[in-house]
Amino acid sequence: MDPVMSLLISGIVAAIILVMLNKQQSSKVSNNIYSDDVQQLYLLTTAEYKINALETKQQLRREKIESKTTALPEIELEIAQLTQAFNEGKIHLNELNSKLDSLLSKFNTDGVELSQVF
C-alpha cells in the first residue's frame, strides 16, 4: 500500500506544479501584450516629437525668410494631412513615423537625427 500512496502523492504534487507553470506562462503572454502597448506608446511619442521638430523648423525658416521673397515650402499642410490620415486610420503608426522621417530629412532639421523605434 505504501508504493500506491507515494505514487498518489507524487501525482498530486506533479499536478500542482503543472498548474503553477501554466499560470506563469499565462502571465508571460500578458506581459508581451503589455510590451506591445509600450512600443506603440513610444512610437506615438516619437511621432509627436518629430511633428514638434518640424513645426519648430518651419517657424525658424519663416523668421529667417521674412525679409526675402523666396517661397517657403509649407510643411504644415503635409503634417496636417498625415495626422488626419492617421486619426482616420488610413495609415498606421509605423507608416506615419517613416513619412515624418522623410519630411525631417527633406527639410534638414539642423542635423537632428531621429531614428524610428521598432
Q: Which amino acid, residue 113? A: E
Q: Which residue has the cell 527639410?
A: 107
Range 60-86 average pLDDT: 71
pTM of structure: 0.53
Q: Tens digits of per-residue pLDDT, 81-99?
A: 888 888 888 888 888 888 8
Residues with Cβ within 8 Å of 91's Cβ and at least 6 positions away in sequence, in order, are 82, 85, 99
C-alpha cell at position 27: 502571465
Enclosing H/E stretch for 77:
helix 75-87
C-alpha cell at position 51: 511633428
Please provide the average confidence, as pLDDT, over all residues in the chain: 76
Query: Could you count the other beta carbons within 10 Å of the beta carbon of residue 99?
Result: 19
C-alpha cell at position 42: 513610444
CA 31 to chain centroid:
16
C-alpha cell at position 10: 507524487
Per-residue confidence (pLDDT) for residue 29, from 0 to 100:
59
